[in-house]
Structure 1
């Protein structure tokens, strides 16, 4: 495992429930993600993909094995340390999770409020700039109910990328979108991630977008079963 990896996972196991009913969800996971790398994780529903994503994102606690983010070991990390980690990660979910009472700009700007040292004017300008980048410059003052599904998902991408995270985690980001819109959305994520030097880890069932990956990993029943390298 190289020290320049953004994510470095060794012998990771994960369980749910209490003994004797405890169930193992992830088995001996070993994987790493490098800067600017786009990794797609595929596999059937219930195979453990989202569980792995939430562990990497500091949204669950590591139980067994090693999970390092930017060389910091997350096993044994306390809540305060996990909050610090989350600052460097952008999250994009299938449901865009936008706040209906905020405009597109306010939804994006909210992401910067974790960073106490960014003045409001700067946060506002940054939010507008990234909405411009996702081709929503003319929609910044609209509330989510006035936006289409694809536009809402682009606001969610802008929100994930506005703080220039080191890692972007996306869980089924195209599931609710038609093929053309889904393609536009992932190409946008790909371009912005590469420009910012972020790594992108994407969980998807959408075979139409697999070609954007530098690498595809496959999860089955809690095991990473194959690592197929895609041709660039």
Structure 2
């Protein structure tokens, strides 16, 4: 089966001429359909840059980056737009519109999909909010929701179009441990139901166990790709040593 994401010898640069700076170095990675991949590493290691390239938020500059069979190296704005329509995005800042209710925020994420009627958008938005446990908050505005509830609206918005890939950047960073665990468990459950792939960037060692594989980055390079359980156990050992 062809991988959902195939990255070969990927390098990426910001700026031009004397201000040109390399931020990703010789990245090689394949992600298969249905996998949950967590990317870890210190701030500034290139995790978010790689996530935005895979998500079609900017064009790759050197090497090869194929997403759903489409090459994104020097991709045109039209191709990037088409790729983005196959993705769902969940970020630390939930990015909800304060002037829209929960159901309106979710429905807004469906409006780029011209194959859906208005009634279908309404029905699917309500179903997704019910799936994340917010059936009693459909008409609440973001200011009237807790941090965990806002992030659940963001999850519903991301999953409502039935994307092939979910890209999440620090989705639990602004949440307490219980809310963060609930959010990632919900992402895991719903993504498995929809058979979509999750690529999640995090500093939160408490959620490593949901991953099929963990990718470690440092200074713009992949420094380790391994099975989640082994790496999660290693993190726990490190925490135990540091606490003694």
Give secondary structure in 2 for the equivalent of 1:217: strand
Conserved? CA contact 2:13–2:23, under 8 Å: yes
Note the alpha carbon deviations across 1:41-86, whole angstroms, 9 max, x for none.
0000011000000000000111001000111111132111111110
Return the TM-score normalized by structure 1.
0.97
Q: Return the match for 2:143 from 139, 142, 145.
A: 145
Matched, 1:219 2:217: yes
In structure 1, C-alpha distance between the alignment counterparts of 2:7 and 2:219, rounded to whole Å? 18
Q: CA RMSD in A?
A: 1.0
Structure 1 partner of 2:85 = 87
The runs of 4+ residues in structure 1 deviating greater than 3 Å are none
Total equivalences in the alignment: 230
Return the TM-score normalized by structure 2.
0.93
Give secondary structure in 1 for the equivalent of 2:18: coil
Q: Which ranges of structure 1 fall in alignment gaps of 5 or more residues?
A: none
Structure 2 partner of 1:18 = 16
Q: Return the match for 1:178 from 157, 168, 176.
A: 176
Structure 1 partner of 2:94 = 96
Shift, 1:22, TM fit = 1.3
In structure 1, C-alpha distance between the alignment counterparts of 2:54 and 2:36, rounded to whole Å? 15
In structure 1, C-alpha distance between the alignment counterparts of 2:96 and 2:84, rounded to whole Å? 18
In structure 2, C-alpha distance between the alignment counterparts of 1:114 and 1:192, rounded to whole Å? 22
Matched, 1:62 2:60: yes
In structure 1, C-alpha distance between the alignment counterparts of 2:109 and 2:49, rounded to whole Å? 23
Note the alpha carbon deviations across 1:170-219, whole angstroms, 9 max, x for none.
00000000000000000000011111010000000000000000000000
In structure 2, C-alpha distance between the alignment counterparts of 1:21 and 1:130, rounded to whole Å? 45
